[in-house]
Amino acid sequence: MNTQNHLRLVDDPLAPEAPPPDPLIGRVLDGRYLIEKVLGEGGMGIVYRAKHTALGKSLAVKVLRAEVSKDQEIVARFRQEAKSATEIGNEHIIDISDFGALPDGSTYFVMEFLDGIALTKAMENDRPVPAARTIRIAKQICTALGAAHQAGIVHRDLKPDNIYLVKRSSDADFVKVLDFGIAKVGGATSKLTRAGQVFGTPHYMSPEQCAGTEVDQRTDIYALGVILYEMACGRVPFDADNLMGILTKHLYENPIAPRELPPPTDVPVALESVILKALEKKKEQRYQSMAEVRADLERIEQGLTPQAVMDAVDRAASHTAAGGAREGTQRTGLAMGVGEPEHQTAKKSSSLLPLLLGGGLVLLLAVGGAAAFFLTRGTGDVPVVPPIVSITPVPIAPLPVPPVGGGAGIVAPLGGGPANPELPAAAVRVTITSDPAGAAVYRDDALLGNTPFVVDRPVGDTTFELSLRSPGFANQPVRVSSMTQAALNIPLERERRVGGGGHRPPPSGQAAGTPPAAHNGRPAGGTASEVINPWDQ
């Protein structure tokens, strides 16, 4: 394009007008902070890069918009962010050095400039994040949040956008945690921190946050579990097409164990145990402090057994002693919801239970074998054996068998002829496979195993129904009766979704030193109201 044509395009009256220049750029605040450029922008405020006029030091200045500054509750939260971060005083938490007000009534604070990238971007560049790097980063997050918790401060919005990786000496992944804007200060009773209000980013919210109940340091531990899951697996554990769908999953659904994700995810079993313990639905079953999480991560680095594995063994043993264990389970059990009755949680499955049920072994030997299996199952030396499950059939009145594809789900096709008189029906087992393979097999809400899955065929006029579930596919009911053939392959239909699954999209326009304003940790196609927080930036 020549210069003349270019000038005509610029002068075209129909061309969009350039945005007016930011009035703060080039100004000096309080006689010492020269505003240089915009780093990030949100609905509530703007973050600028600035330079101290006397020291020549680069800084970041966060300014609350003038129109928003009229809301006293938001201003109070803004001040609380500055105060919270300053009180903690940990090297892994962003340092805030000054606070002030502009002539138009806008408030601002000054913080250190972070020359690095958000964890969001790091995950985009390295998906999934290798286990050693994941643990190294997570340990520093534990140190930062542990210091905050000791100061009586709960972050409540921990997510990859609020974690920055900067270079310090030889460490290219030195962690800085920022944005304590919705932090809860211990002992506070104001409406900013009271229970019953829901704050946070849905994909990283704990069940108690989703329910609007009281939160404590274990809320941040749950959020860390989500972050670890995302780093290790390349996706968040819970995703849906709308806000309520995400909150509901946090409240009532188990996360799929990382090593069960299709295709198989290469996550060390010891790290998986830490992730799943941090993601427990009940606060009492999670880690109780960041120090405990860090200690387990250090055990993994040293080649030792993390406490999370032993806790899972203890729970499995307790369920076995209570008679609540099921055979054929291949994943760590998780309570299904907040405040669930004990008689329901006793039915939940655990990857350790098949080992604890074997051959009348004494409980001590069962626990030892379970721990050894849990630590070696990921090495590739131990083949996965399809579970054989005996299910007590429930007698029902005889009903005509609907055709394949009927409204009640897939019905096992009838055999090609009369049953073999030499083989009693009760001795026949049905092998259920799926396309794709590895689907989770449920009966009611209890996980029985994964396909290929073997189950005893019922006799007489009895039947039971299973459900095949796999991420990205619609749940598929399967009815098993005395007429079901010995080999049954079930094709799964892809789930019709508006969004793009549990993966995070690349952030747009991310600037160093501040979290990206337009990206709040939502997967592609997620809800438009992703952050339940009036203070977005």
Where in the sequence numbering do the catalytic residues fall?
A: 157
Cβ–Cβ under 8 Å, residues 212 and 197: yes
The single residue listed with the structure tokens 């053939």 is: 485
**Which neighbouring-strand residues pair with 464?**
480
DSSP 177: E
Cβ–Cβ under 8 Å, residues 59 and 52: yes
Tokens of 110: 């000054």
Q: Can you tell me the distance from the alpha carbon of 441 to that of 477, in angstroms, rounded to the nearest whole number?
A: 10
For 49-81, letters b (16+ CB in 10 Å) and e give bbbeeeeeeebbbbbbbeebbeeeebbebbebb
Kindly list the distances between the CA atom of residue 158 and the CA atoms of 154, 191, 225, 334, 528, in Å, as whole numbers in the listed order.
9, 21, 10, 22, 20
Report long-range pairs for 76-82 (Cβ below 8 Å, ≥24 apart): 76/190, 76/192, 77/181, 77/182, 77/192, 77/535, 78/45, 78/107, 78/109, 78/181, 78/535, 79/107, 80/180, 80/181, 80/183, 80/185, 80/192, 81/109, 81/179, 81/180, 81/181, 81/183, 81/535, 82/109
The single residue listed with the structure tokens 């009036």 is: 534
Tokens of 487: 């080999």
Give the distance from CA 481 to its chain's centroid.
38
**Which neighbouring-strand residues pair with 28?**
34
Tokens of 226: 């989500």
Q: Can you tell me the distance from the alpha carbon of 270 to that of 289, in angstroms, rounded to the nearest whole number?
A: 19
Give the distance from CA 113 to its chain's centroid.
29
Report long-range pairs for 531-534 (Cβ below 8 Å, ≥24 apart): 531/200, 531/201, 531/202, 532/198, 532/199, 532/200, 532/201, 532/202, 532/205, 532/243, 533/157, 533/181, 533/182, 533/199, 533/200, 533/201, 534/44, 534/74
Looking at 305-362, list the stretches that DSSP marks H as alpha helix, in order from N- to C-terminal side: 307-321, 342-345, 353-356
